[in-house]
Amino acid sequence: MKHAMIPALLLAAAAASCAPPPAAPPAGDGAVVASVTPRFNDLAGWLVQTVEQVPDSLYGYKPNPAVRSMAELMGHVANAHYTFCAGALGTAEPEHADFEKVTDKATLVEAMKASVAFCNTAYQMSDADAMKETQFFGSTMTRLAVLVWNATHDGEHYGNLVVYMRANGMVPPSSQGGS
b/e burial code for range 92-113 (CB count within 10 A of at least 16 → b): eeeeeeebbebeebeebeebbb
Domain ranges of the chain: 31-173
Instruction: Report the pLDDT value the prediction gives residue 7, as an integer from 0 to 100.
Output: 44
b/e burial code for range 26-37 (CB count within 10 A of at least 16 → b): eeeebebbeebb
Strand partners, 136: 139
Tell me the CATH number for domain 31-173: 1.20.120.450
Q: Does the CA dihedral 108-110-112-114 come out positive or negative?
A: negative
Entry pTM: 0.82
Instruction: Report the pLDDT value the prediction gives residue 177, as an integer from 0 to 100.
Output: 82
Low-confidence residues in the chain, pLDDT < 70 = 1-28, 178-179
Residues in the chain: 179
Cα–Cα dist 106/170, whole Å: 20
Cα–Cα dist 69/167, whole Å: 13
Instruction: Report the pLDDT value the prediction gives residue 36, as an integer from 0 to 100.
Output: 93
Cβ(50)–Cβ(86) below 8 Å:
no
Instruction: Report the pLDDT value the prediction gives residue 22, as an integer from 0 to 100.
Output: 46
